[in-house]
């Protein structure tokens, strides 16, 4: 019987009748609780054969324990007009009985066989996994379409040009303010030159426009990047 013995293990016996008479047979075992035999008795016609299935029930195998399980196949010529099989065996004389004895052998798979099975399972290709799992989901697009991108680019260019223009104006006003401060030091506070200085001081508003434009373009650039 080949292991492992975690499930039912079946071995077949082939009984053949080479004589020209019918033969009765019976299969016996020393461990009837461990085995299931089908059929365990019957009649074999002349020149015919019968397959007997011996099913070993699951058990905890101990390699150090020697197997003492045995089977015996008894046979005898069938009397004419047989009707009761039990009566045949009860009335049979010892010299009319024939028997064959068999000893059970348990075989566990060796380590090489286990490794070969593992390698075979690893090398087996996995087919159609992508079809079974379904198509791969498409990644969500986070980019803007072409129209929105074009609009943002044009707006950024316009704001950059506006910033450059305001920067030039701010530089011109700063230079003019420095020149007027120098003149104010030499004039009195009530002179027309001082009044002109105060009037030009109010012209620092474009510098604030530069800051506001920078914030505005930063907002659009951030939206474009996201």
Kindly report the backbone phi and psi dihedral angles of residue 225, in degrees, each rounded to the nearest multiple of 5, phi listed first: -70, -45
194 and 187 in contact (C-beta within 8 Å)? yes
Instruction: Give me the sign of the Cα torsion angle 86, 88, 91, 93.
Output: negative
pLDDT tens over the chain, length 226 residues: 887 888 999 999 999 999 999 999 999 999 999 999 999 999 999 999 999 999 999 988 887 777 789 999 999 999 888 888 888 999 889 999 999 999 988 887 764 454 445 444 544 444 444 444 445 544 444 455 667 777 777 877 888 788 888 888 878 888 887 888 777 776 655 555 544 545 555 455 555 555 555 565 665 555 544 5
pTM for the predicted model, two decimal places: 0.47
Question: How far from 28 is each of 36, 37, 39, 76, 152, CA to CA, in Å?
Answer: 11, 9, 11, 14, 95
From CA 147, how far away is CA 124, in angstroms rounded? 52
Q: DSSP string of 105-155? A: --BPPPHHHHHHHHHHHHHS---SHHHHH-PPPPPPP-S--HHHHHHHHHH
219 and 196 in contact (C-beta within 8 Å)? no
**Superfamily classification of domain 9-103:** Immunoglobulins (2.60.40.10)
Can you give the pLDDT at residue 172? 82
């Amino acid at each position: 019987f080949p292991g492992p013995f975690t499930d039912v293990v079946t071995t077949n016996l082939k009984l053949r009748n080479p004589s020209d008479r019918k033969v009765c047979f019976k299969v016996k075992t020393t461990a009837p609780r461990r085995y299931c035999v089908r059929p365990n008795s019957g009649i074999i016609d002349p020149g015919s054969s019968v397959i007997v299935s011996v099913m070993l029930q699951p058990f905890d195998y101990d390699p150090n324990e020697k197997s003492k399980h045995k089977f015996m196949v008894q046979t005898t010529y069938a009397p004419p007009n047989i009707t009761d099989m039990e009566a045949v065996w009860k009335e049979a004389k010892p010299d009319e009985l024939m028997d064959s004895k068999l000893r059970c052998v348990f075989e566990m798979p060796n380590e090489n066989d286990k490794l070969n099975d593992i390698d075979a399972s690893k090398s087996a290709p996995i087919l159609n996994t992508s079809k079974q799992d379904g198509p791969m989901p498409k990644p969500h697009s986070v980019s803007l379409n072409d129209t929105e991108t074009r609009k943002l680019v044009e707006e950024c260019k316009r704001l950059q040009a506006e910033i450059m223009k305001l920067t030039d104006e701010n530089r011109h006003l700063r230079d003019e303010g420095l020149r007027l401060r120098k003149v104010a030091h030499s004039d009195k506070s009530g002179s027309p030159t001082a009044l002109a200085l105060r009037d030009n001081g109010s012209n620092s508003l474009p510098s604030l426009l530069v800051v506001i434009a920078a914030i505005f373009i930063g907002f659009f650039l951030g939206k474009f990047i996201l």
